[in-house]
Chain A
Amino acid sequence: MEHKPPVWADRFFAWFCAPHLLHDLQGDLHERFYERLRDNGARSARFHFVLDVFSFFRPYILRRRKYGVSQVPSRMLFGHYLKSAVRSMKRDKQFLVVNTFGLALGIGCSLLLIAYVYTELSYDRYVDDSSLVYRVSCSTVIDTKETQFAPIPPAVGLALKEALPEIKDMARFMTWSYTTGNSSVSYQDKSFYQQNIFIADSTIFKVITFRFLAGNAAALHQPDRVVLSHTLATKIFGPDYLRRSDLLQTMIRIDKQEFAVGGVVDDIPYSSHWRPEAMVGWQGRGNDNVWDDSHAYTYIRVNAGTDPHTLQKRIGDFIDANENIKKVAEAFGAKVSVFIQPLTDIHLHSDKMYELSPGGSAGYIYAFSVLALFFLFSSGINYTNLAIAASAHRFKEIGVRKVIGALRHQIQKQFMIEAVLITFIAAAIGAGIFYLLIPRFNQLMEYKLDMSIFRQGEFLMTATGVVVTLSLLSGFYPAFYLSWINPIQILKSKFSGGPGKAHFRKTLLMTQFAISAIMIVAVLVVSAQMRYLSQKDLGFNKENVMIITIPDAYMKDLLVLKEKLLAVTGVSGAAVCDYVPGYSDMVDEHYVERANGEMKSSTVSRLHFDKDYLRVLGLEVIQGRNFDPTNEADYKAAYLVNEAAVKAYGWDKTPQGALGRKIEGFNYGKKGQVIGVVKDVNLFSLKQKVAPLVMGLTPYGSFLYVKTDGEHPKEMVSRIEKTYKAVMGNEPLTYQFLDERLMRLYESDQKMNAALVSGSQVLIFISCLGLFGLSAFMVTQRTKEIGVRKVLGASLREIMVLLTRDYVRLIVIANVVAIPLGYLLMQQWLKSYAYRVDLSWWMALVPVCLTVLLALLSISFQVARASRANPVRTLRYE
């Protein structure tokens, strides 16, 4: 016969047709084909054959892949799989414990990191319709140098609200205390210092979401009312304050001003960039006509559907056309712009002057996400390797299953079910580990996580997704590997462990140790840099300097206190300054005379201190003279500058030099001349190079620097406290130490370091756990080989080398790949510092030695057992 049905259509039919229907149906199709061939010719027959094939593409014909012919429905098998999973777990407890624990540790740690990342990303999303809320901030550009400010002049917000109808509500607030942020709150005879007190527009409740526990949003309309947070109210009135019937008339004092409680709001969630503890009304305190001083944090809520780009453009046009802004810009010689930023972007993507809280860092979000992935990856690899290792005992089981008629996909399903089961047990334990780790994490990271995060739907979904994905991925390879086993070989005992080379498993192991090596490199570099920061000579004296915060209300007693403290034993000096490192950047507009004599404005850091400051910190005047407190003119018209300023303004290139140059402080209205140059020191963060700095003389400042001899610090503090209380009428003493304060500048990196150290320990532990299990497998596989070698005269040492050589080689290769990668990564991080530690070559050796050593340690137990075993026994193995 010449003509045959089209082969492709025939094959296609055979592929999609259910096996029990295929035989006779295919016969029918062929019969029809040949009949047509006879009657109508080849073309028609072929055409109709294809048509027939496609007309059979119907649900009842289609092959059901899951259910073959005469198979027990998998619903019934499911129970059986569970049972055999439980039995095999019971039989092999070591595997169960090692594997579940490894997985649980990985899941627990990564959940913790995911919770952190989730919290960071959910900042300020508690606000109703947070996508409609924007913060208005501003920037000045002077000589191409741009400075961005989080707050804006209070008049700007008001003008914008009037001019632009798409702004539904506008609210401004500013800090109550300008200097230290500390204000005294008192009620009856109770008194304490409180941070985060704000003066706010009454519209604030329309822009930012607050939940009132007592009183209502009208409270801020009256100037003599205060709205308290739940925490502060509890602190003042005790836990049962809501039951007090007279709560809303109760008077409290803030910095000696009387207020009636106008309302209590529920605490703002931890993930908020602004966390007010008390708010008082703007009316009568804020100044609505100020155009030139940025101190009002301004937030707007826009109408739904407003396009931010259009709004930004409209605001830009309005600002450009505004007469008042023009005047200010002219006075500063600056280009002023005002822009909006989404509320939810502030925490992670905004780093302006005078931010309300130190923002999170997108970089750390990435770093922590990667770390979480590392954890999952490492524990997943563990599971895969261990599951295969442990299945050595189960080859016979699989063989018998296959002989009885189990299909490949059924074996796969069985092992996937086991993987899912173990992962979910591990996830439950992991949640427990999460719970146990929270306090430690919060302490390390100075964060506030708690179990309530599990009530957040999105987080719960992410967590479940992670666990399911992990179980599928880690169960995937063992399931496929085991389902390929040839039953004949197994049952004839010829088979002892699948494809002998096990490239895949070795790659997994290498990946695991490469991750560990990268972590070790990261830890080394970060801690080396931290050590460098704490040991670097900053050019001034930072040891044994205690900084006392002076409350605004007691400023007048400052000089008396200073006198009295100098008389205390062990105190060798005291100085007043308006700055502590990290408190806030003292940046201000100044008119500065340039090299050519022209006066131009410049945004520079400034300090105000008294005559003793330079001596107490050991700063050197290298040109000109220090301030002279007896000279009245020095208070009003004298400036010191640092070397960086001399260079920045080009004074060093002129014969006239720095001395006598004119400087005007814009905001504090001081016109003066440079009387001296101070040697460059790193008063600010080492992330930046030493920047230009102007310094003025003042008798008063919010911080008193006390230099002590450093002996018996505890007694020293109590002596100082006694003197302080005697002078300040029993006010509590708030103090800190300069060197600690300086290290606080690198707080986020220190937290990172702490997290890295703990994280890498756990990661390495998980890897070693996996190696421990794997070595047990390897040793059982090679029992006979070892026996034969021993009989033939191999020494104990030779056998141990034989057994460990492979692993050591793998780990060294992993290190060779990982270390350069780790260093490249960390070099990027180091770039965020202007001053950084030199990395030395021995740092590359540490991860190699450490991982090899730990790996040897974890396999040594199994290796020792195997190489000591009596060959007579092992050769009798069968």
Chain B
Amino acid sequence: MKGTNLGEFEELVLLTVGILQEEAYSIAIAKEIKRVTKRDVIFAVVHSALNRLEEKGYVDSKLGGATQERGGRSKRIFTISAAGKKALLRSKTQRDALWNLMPKVVFKNI
């Protein structure tokens, strides 16, 4: 297994999977990230991140409903796993800890 740390983009994807719940399949995830972050996400990059997250065990996937547009092919629905949740929390705790150490003066003029 590759390293278990969470990349920045991976973290975004993982959060979105959590947000979308039952609707979390690759296209919806890509749209949501784009909507929230205003970043121009490439679909293949999202898919590759999901693939990596699955390899790391942070998300689980199962095949879901199919539509006519998809040519009868089912969607792959992602759900965030326990390990994924822990990883998100760990990441958040680390950042909060760092924010708490940040001197107020740094952000004084913003």
Contact = CB atoms under 8 A, between A and B. Distances in A.
Contacts of B66: 27
Interface residues of B, number: 20
A55 B42 contact: yes
Interface string B31-53: 00000000000111101100100
A56 interface: yes
B69 interface: yes
B43 A31 contact: no
A32 B27 CA distance: 8
A26 B71 contact: yes
A246 interface: no
Contact of A27 (B42, B43, B51, B73): B73
A32 B43 CA distance: 10
Contacts of A21: 51
A670 interface: no
Interface string B15-32: 000000000011100000
A741 interface: no
Contacts of A60: 48, 51
Interface residues of A, number: 18
A92 to B, nearest CB: 46
B56 interface: no
A355 B75 CA distance: 85
Contact of B69 (A34, A52, A55): A34
Contacts of B73: 23-24, 26-27, 30
Contacts of A455: none
Contact of B70 (A27, A52, A56, A58): A27
A323 interface: no
Interface in B55-89: 63, 66-67, 69-71, 73-76
A28 interface: yes
Of A27, A31, A52, A58, the most chain B CB neighbours within 10 A belong to A27
A762 B72 CA distance: 67
Contacts of A35: 27, 69
B62 to A, nearest CB: 10
Contact of A24 (B48, B69, B76): B76
Chain A interface helix/strand/loop/mixed:
helix
Contact of B74 (A24, A58, A61): A24
Interface in A41-72: 52, 55-56, 58, 60-61
A31 B70 CA distance: 5
B63 A30 contact: no
Of B25, B43, B45, the most chain A CB neighbours within 10 A belong to B43
A30 B43 contact: no
A504 to B, nearest CB: 43
Contacts of B75: 24, 27-28
Contacts of A26: 71, 73
A61 B70 CA distance: 20
A56 B47 contact: yes
Given A24-B63, A28-B26, A28-B27, A55 B71 contact: no
26 contacts: A21-B51, A23-B74, A24-B63, A24-B73, A25-B26, A25-B47, A26-B71, A27-B73, A27-B75, A28-B25, A28-B26, A28-B27, A28-B47, A30-B69, A30-B71, A30-B73, A31-B70, A32-B27, A32-B43, A35-B27, A52-B44, A55-B42, A55-B43, A55-B45, A58-B48, A60-B51
Given A27-B71, A31-B70, A52-B44, 12 more contacts: A23-B73, A23-B74, A24-B74, A24-B76, A26-B73, A28-B47, A28-B70, A30-B71, A35-B27, A35-B69, A55-B43, A56-B44
